[in-house]
A and B are shown apart, each in its own frame.
Chain A
Amino acid sequence: MRIDYHLKDRFDFGLLFPVIILFGTGLAAIYSSTFNNSLAQGNFEKQIIWGVAGLILFFITYSLPSNVFKQSAIPVYLFSIALLIFVLMIGKTVSGSRSWINFGSLGFQPSEFAKVGTILMLARYLSRTNTDIESFKDLLFALGIGLIPVTLILLEPDMGTVFVFLAMIITLIFWKGISVFAMFVVLSPAIVAVSSLFGIYYFIASLVIVVALLFIFRQDFFFSGSIFALNLACGFFADYVFRALSPHQQNRIQAFIDPMTDPLGSGYNTIQAQVAIGSGGLFGKGFMAGHQTQLQFIPEQWTDFVYCVVGEEFGFFGAIVILSLFTYLFIHILKISSSSKDEFLSLLAIGILAVLFSHFIINIGMVVGIMPVVGLPLPFVSYGGSSLLVNMLMLGILANIYRTRKNYA
């Protein structure tokens, strides 16, 4: 049993095992939804190849010396920024977003890669010995690191990925130990910005709350005034950004607010996805037997809407299994993060957790109709090479952190 103990100590089965089940379920769902579709012939086989490639990438990343991550942070970050600029200039537009770079028949989204680059860079900056997250200057610098890629992705525009980045930045700052007041300063403009999209009353209400909280925190008058001004500016800026969004994204946000207003346009996917899941019942309609899936009511179901294949064909049972596997995975990653003795690696792990978790929440949320349709894949389950590779890379980093968790004191 000695060897077994060593292996368990060095390799985290709790990390890889749920992911393999998720990937397998994804394969089944992809098979079922692409079988009759001439447009997607071969996607199942391609996904298997991507899976194998992802597994290789996972083990390579796993076996790297863990100081590699810290050393590569700056170059990887700068390279990903360069790619994001590059894609804005020569990228290929797919459904309204200029977010793809093509190499022959292979497509690649630089924003996927930029997730890793930004986490590395932020974790590196925040783990510097002299970084004080309570100092205004350092906080601003940290936000700057995160907001440069966010701005570039906003220009593509790819709203879903922007949400993922924001969640990741906030989680990293939170994990670093930001105080409640500073967190309020960071978050309030974002909340005000979102509420301004719902209309003028929401906007005013959120501003009133901000003013009330400012009184509670009792900071000096000048500082409170600047924060209020910042909030106000963000509210107007959000409105401007909304107008700058591509029509298909505007429609999607509007369709989320009331899908029935446009049942044939943007609301179509939401309605059909809900019908698919809802009609699945307790045990589902059986593999390759879902009406909604087999009759292809939902376009490109094997990508962002893959979860409704699971929901329809494997029912509540299958959907809950997927949900539980993800939850187990996330709690496990949180454990890895807090067990690491190295501040940089701990931050790195929490950043990865934030990225995977926000994908999960936004994707399933949109499929079950409680979030807008923003087009994010479900990690490890949805069809797609570049997202799977980046997710496996991040998983490899986590396994690496687990392996070396005792090395740093």
Chain B
Amino acid sequence: MISERFASIQRKSILSVAILFCAAGLGFRLFQMQILNQTLYETKSANNSIKQIEQIPLRGVFYDRNHKLLVNNVPAYTLRITPLDYDTRLNNLLEKVLDLDSGYVSSMLDQYKGFSKYLPIKIKRGVDFSAISWFEENSRHLPGVDYIIEMHRGYPGGVNGSHIFGYTKEITRKQLEENKETYKSGDVIGYNGIEETYDQQLKGSKGRRFILVDSRQKEIGSYNDGTDDLLPVRGTDVILTIETSTQKAAEEEFKNRRGALVAIDPNTGEILAMVSSPQYDLDKFSYITSQEFLNQLYNDPDKPLFNRATMSIQSPGSTYKMLAAIAALDLGVITPTSTIYCGGGVTFGRFFKCHGVHGSINVVQAIEKSCNSFFYQLIFKIGLDRWAEYCRRFGFDAKTNVDLDEESPGLIPDSKYYVKTFGANWPRSILLSLSIGQGEVGVSTLQLAQYTALIANNGKSFTPHLVRSYINSDEQEVYLKTHPIDVGIDKKVFDVVKEGMYLVVNGSGTATNIRSDEYVISGKTGTAQNPHGKDHAWFVAFAPFDHPQIAVALIVENVGFGATYAAPIAKRVIETYLNSLKDKPVKENKTLVKLEKIISEQSGEN
């Protein structure tokens, strides 16, 4: 049944009239705008257009712990050509002044052919000052040629620190799509390291200026006398925990070696030095990064972009023996004087061997001599899950929450893990390997440094961190909150273990080669077995013995025994740092000179 009124001719006519009436209305409006008032809009378009200019603030700079400048902003001149006003007969002249190959300018212009002629093309970045002054003097004869100041990162501290600092680069399309609310196309953001972690604080806030431009994009005045303008706010400057001379020494030691080093002040958790080697050259990121350079970094088999200090997970080897010792002493399953017999190894299914025949030894001697038999037997007294629980108390099996985004938690296996992997009857002989830091146990250099710091400071420290403080708008240093760690173990336990570590270097232990007259260093060697090649050498150490100021953990990949290769590096880093404390300059705020507030301007849409 169709109702009489349904889709009636009358209703169809009403709709037809409505459609035609609306279309005619829009048509009339277009006629009014485009024909009657065209000249009005034409002048508006040609003369007074408001344009928003974005003003990019200076990025926050980095200081080291003694207020020495490590990373700053360096102005660089970029020469531009606006094709509409430019005369191509000037090509040869420009090439001569800029010291470019002939044909370069025209090839750059060709590249942007088809783009709007009103938009300036960046011809060359990093033009030197003498050339810029020449352009300035002769600007009258160079129509369509101008320059802008762009900022890039400079590294005046003489420290490479690639994995600490990270780099800055224009935001990629993909990241932009993920963070549409926070970033805009063309924004320069931090990648890796502190540049990434603290990007929000470092970037400052953009300013904006409203200007009147004519149709050729020439500025003809500020809009509304600048009342709507917003000044850019500089990014926040930060003070790192890094000690420059220590960092430099560590970087030098790792030149041509692969590995990682982390040095921590055990009293505060401040990271004094952090190296991941091979490093990469941050300077190459400061201008436009060439695709070639990036490909080279990505394809390098040594993976220079990878932060080995926080991401590379290895077995800690014998450096891990202190953990079992601490657990056993704290649980009371041994006393400092109880002895275990070493006859050159232990038979458990198969024969697990030791480096030598040590006889009946106590825990101090076991650490000194790095006796495997002692720890093979000790772990059975502790039990796997209790052992794993102690590992976690020292921060293993979890991220340290250092202020870097790239970090691996490592792995500490427990019985649940083995039941899942091998079933209920998992081979108990695995425990023997774990007791000497081999097998499934995996740690990062940073975790091992934190563990060394906790031992040095009797179980109390702070979360390791790289940024100590920032400078507020009153030029005052404001310290960031640090998170205390307390493993809750009695000092007496640590005294025993530390005595063992003392003897490793100063007794008849495994690293007597780094004994020093100046400072009392205590440490422990380790070797991480590597199925793919030569073993990795570990060394952990702290100094001075009585009031530890520095704890170090380091790994040198594929070199063999720890004491020979790794220990001397630790010695140099420790000595450099302790020396720097001796002739520590009085903290002077003079170094915090306000940088000249140069603002680089960038057009809003580019």
| B272-287 CB contacts (< 8 Å) to partner A | none
A interface: dominant SS: helix
Please tell me which one of the listed residues B27, B33, B185 contacts residue A277 in the complex, with CB atoms under 8 A apart: B33
Bound together, the chains give a CA A272 to CA B3 distance in angstroms of: 49
Q: Does B140 contact A (CB under 8 A)?
A: no
Q: Does B114 contact A (CB under 8 A)?
A: yes
Cβ of B6 and Cβ of A343 under 8 Å apart? Answer: yes
Q: Does B587 contact A (CB under 8 A)?
A: no
Chain A minimum-CB-distance residue to B117: A294
Of A15-23, A80-88, A229-237, A311-319, the stretch lying at the interface with chain B is A311-319
* Nearest chain A CB to B3 CB, angstrom units: 5
Give the number of A-B contacts (CB < 8 Å).
Answer: 148
| A 176-205 to B, binary, CB cutoff 8 A, 1 in contact else 0 | 111100000000000000000000000000
Cβ of B6 and Cβ of A320 under 8 Å apart? Answer: no
Residues of B within 8 A of A334 (CB): 12, 15-16, 19
Bound together, the chains give a CA A105 to CA B178 distance in angstroms of: 9
Cβ of A177 and Cβ of B41 under 8 Å apart? Answer: no
Chain A minimum-CB-distance residue to B217: A295
Cβ of B29 and Cβ of A370 under 8 Å apart? Answer: yes
Interface residues on B, range: 35 or more
Bound together, the chains give a CA A178 to CA B215 distance in angstroms of: 54
Q: Does B63 contact A (CB under 8 A)?
A: no
Q: Does A407 contact B (CB under 8 A)?
A: no
Residues of A within 8 A of B46 (CB): 279, 291
Q: Does B8 contact A (CB under 8 A)?
A: yes
Cβ of A294 and Cβ of B118 under 8 Å apart? Answer: yes
* Known contacts A279-B45, A368-B33; A38 and B116 CB within 8 A of each other: no
| B1-57 CB contacts (< 8 Å) to partner A | 1-9, 11-12, 15-16, 19-20, 22-23, 26-27, 29-31, 33-35, 37-38, 40-42, 44-46, 49-52
Most chain B CB within a 10 A radius of its CB, from A105, A264, A278? A278
Please tell me which one of the listed residues A175, A278, A282, A357 contacts residue B41 in the complex, with CB atoms under 8 A apart: A278
Cβ of A292 and Cβ of B45 under 8 Å apart? Answer: yes
Bound together, the chains give a CA A363 to CA B4 distance in angstroms of: 35
* Nearest chain A CB to B26 CB, angstrom units: 5
Of A60-68, A70-78, A238-246, A325-333, the stretch lying at the interface with chain B is A325-333
Cβ of B33 and Cβ of A274 under 8 Å apart? Answer: yes
Cβ of B45 and Cβ of A291 under 8 Å apart? Answer: yes
Bound together, the chains give a CA A172 to CA B22 distance in angstroms of: 19
Cβ of A281 and Cβ of B605 under 8 Å apart? Answer: no
Q: Does A365 contact B (CB under 8 A)?
A: yes
Bound together, the chains give a CA A324 to CA B19 distance in angstroms of: 11
Residues of A within 8 A of B50 (CB): 263-264, 268
* Nearest chain B CB to A314 CB, angstrom units: 10
Residues of A within 8 A of B380 (CB): none
| A15-55 CB contacts (< 8 Å) to partner B | 35-39
Cβ of B27 and Cβ of A320 under 8 Å apart? Answer: yes
Cβ of B605 and Cβ of A35 under 8 Å apart? Answer: no
Q: Does A276 contact B (CB under 8 A)?
A: yes
Cβ of A361 and Cβ of B22 under 8 Å apart? Answer: yes
Q: Does A11 contact B (CB under 8 A)?
A: no
Q: Does A389 contact B (CB under 8 A)?
A: no
| B108-123 CB contacts (< 8 Å) to partner A | 114-116, 118-119
* Known contacts A38-B186, A275-B44; A295 and B116 CB within 8 A of each other: yes
| A 332-350 to B, binary, CB cutoff 8 A, 1 in contact else 0 | 0010011000010010001
Bound together, the chains give a CA A361 to CA B4 distance in angstroms of: 30
Q: Does A296 contact B (CB under 8 A)?
A: yes
Chain B minimum-CB-distance residue to A291: B215
| A269-316 CB contacts (< 8 Å) to partner B | 272, 274-282, 288, 291-292, 294-297, 311, 315-316
Bound together, the chains give a CA A357 to CA B176 distance in angstroms of: 35
Residues of A within 8 A of B9 (CB): 338
Q: A174-B11, A279-B41, A280-B34 are in contact. List 20 more A-B contacts (CB 8 A).
A: A38-B185, A38-B606, A39-B605, A177-B4, A177-B8, A277-B33, A277-B34, A278-B40, A279-B45, A281-B34, A296-B605, A316-B35, A319-B30, A323-B30, A324-B23, A330-B19, A343-B6, A357-B19, A364-B26, A368-B29
18 contacts between A and B (CB under 8 A): A35-B114, A94-B180, A171-B15, A175-B11, A263-B50, A275-B41, A277-B30, A278-B40, A278-B45, A279-B46, A295-B116, A316-B34, A331-B16, A334-B16, A350-B15, A361-B22, A365-B26, A368-B26
Ranked 5 nearest A-B pairs via Cβ:
A278-B41, A177-B5, A279-B45, A316-B34, A278-B33
